[in-house]
Structure 1
Amino acid sequence: MTDQSPLASRKILIMATHGFEQSELEVPCERLEQAGAAVDIASLSTKDICGWDDDDWGDDISVDLLIADVKVADYDALVLPGGQINPDLLRVEDKAVALIRDFAAAGKPVAAICHAPWLLIEAGLAKGRRMTSYKSIRTDIANAGAEAVDEAVVTDRNIITSRSPDDLDAFCDAIIAAVVQQPVAA
């Protein structure tokens, strides 16, 4: 008997730190796990990280491993939740930016929502791509050389971008579709 889950035997990494948009981490995590994937959370420390929910701090999330300890070969995709605080803290961390570059260079899906495309800009992945984001950073995307559009989700080669929590269904569907097309990680 075979497992009919679309992401059976797949491993997905979510990279985040304090101030991640609560729903932009939790919803993809839940949807990917429901589709059969194993999901790990990587951060700057192994201590719990706290989300941002609407206009105040949200819930804590357990961290599985340090960003510095991630092996790209072990994962099938990388998901980057937004929020204003989370990507702003991560984009100044060399190991976080290098990890994003490494996933992209390996041809693995890299999915960024809301303000997380800031991380794609920092990693040098925006130029020449078609991307979307939260409306307040679309100028940043355009200034980085991308075609900035206002759409629920955009997939350009292995980079997936989305605007906001309102688009989480389309974002998760795009991640699942991209991972299904990839060879299984080691």
Structure 2
Amino acid sequence: MSNKQKSECTDELKGKRVAILATDGFEQVELTRPRDAITEAGGDVQIVSLDMGEIQGMHHDQLGDKVTVDAIVASANPHDYDALVLPGGVQNPDTLRKSADAVEFVRAFFEQHKPVAAICHGPWMLVEAGVVQGRRVTSYASLKTDLINAGANWVDEECVCDEGLVTSRTPEDLTAFCEKMVEEIAEGKHAAQVA
């Protein structure tokens, strides 16, 4: 990418505020790469979690880095954000989907027609929030049955975009995931993005 292209991209998300919902056990690169893509495009990112402090990242089954939490999901207002990102890691969404506050936070983005990007095990939160009926999605392969049972049209593709809902399978898909995520956030609300 030339310097001219880079400078043209840096303001793509200027004025946009994006929530990344995560807790302990998130797959580190699935949080850090989207976070960096958003900030490099001029957006502002807040890490939203169950409690203040730090959350523990993972590199597959090895401990990764800790990330500082900016807001608690119980008091975070979805109206304050333009989009939502849901990283994977098995423990992360499995813990979050037990939180009524986290589930309602996710559902609110669909009710407000805002872009949502979920990767790997992140789409578990979409199942719990009841927002995948009739939607075309992908995920980590082990979630296929859960998503189909929740009414989704599951496909095995690198990156799937359905009216503001961006999903991908694994960290290997992050380049396509981040590019499409930034594009959808820049576009803003999508009328067909509904709960």
The normalised TM-score by structure 2 is 0.90
Alpha-carbon separation, structure 1, partners of 2:38 and 2:126: 22
The normalised TM-score by structure 1 is 0.94
1:100 aligns with 2:80: no
Instruction: Tell me if the contact between 1:104 and 1:158 (Cα under 8 Å) persists in the aligned partners.
Output: no
SS in structure 2 opposite 1:58? strand
Partner of 1:68: 74
Which 10-residue stretch deviates more, 51-60 or 94-103?
51-60
Residue pairs, 1:147-186, within 5 angstroms: 147-182=153-188
* One-letter amino acid of the counterpart of residue 149, structure 1: V
1:58 aligns with 2:79: no
Alpha-carbon separation, structure 2, partners of 1:4 and 1:26: 18
1:35 aligns with 2:41: yes
Alpha-carbon separation, structure 1, partners of 2:111 and 2:176: 24
Q: How much has 1:158 moved relative to structure 2?
A: 2.4
1:129 aligns with 2:135: yes
Query: Could you list the per-position Cα deviations for residues 98-138 of structure 1 after superposition, in whole angstroms to 9, with x for gaps in the alignment?
Result: 00000111000111100111100000011111110001111
* One-letter amino acid of the counterpart of residue 32, structure 1: I
Query: Could you list the per-position Cα deviations for residues 162-186 of structure 1 after superposition, in whole angstroms to 9, with x for gaps in the alignment?
Result: 1010011111111111111116xxx
Instruction: Tell me if the contact between 2:60 and 2:89 (Cα under 8 Å) persists in the aligned partners.
Output: no
Alpha-carbon separation, structure 2, partners of 1:3 and 1:88: 35
* One-letter amino acid of the counterpart of residue 157, structure 2: E
Alpha-carbon separation, structure 2, partners of 1:17 and 1:79: 13
Q: How many positions carry a matched residue from both structures?
A: 182
Query: Could you list the per-position Cα deviations for residues 57-104 of structure 1 after superposition, in whole angstroms to 9, with x for gaps in the alignment?
Result: 111000001011211121110000001000000001000000000011
1:10 aligns with 2:10: no
Q: How much has 1:55 moved relative to structure 2?
A: 2.0
Instruction: Tell me if the contact between 1:115 and 1:134 (Cα under 8 Å) persists in the aligned partners.
Output: yes
Which 10-residue stretch deviates more, 51-60 or 81-90?
51-60
Q: How much has 1:156 moved relative to structure 2?
A: 1.1
Runs of 5+ in structure 1 lacking a partner?
none
SS in structure 2 opposite 1:86? helix
Runs of 5+ in structure 2 lacking a partner?
1-7, 190-195
Q: Which runs of 4+ in 1 moved over 3 A?
A: none
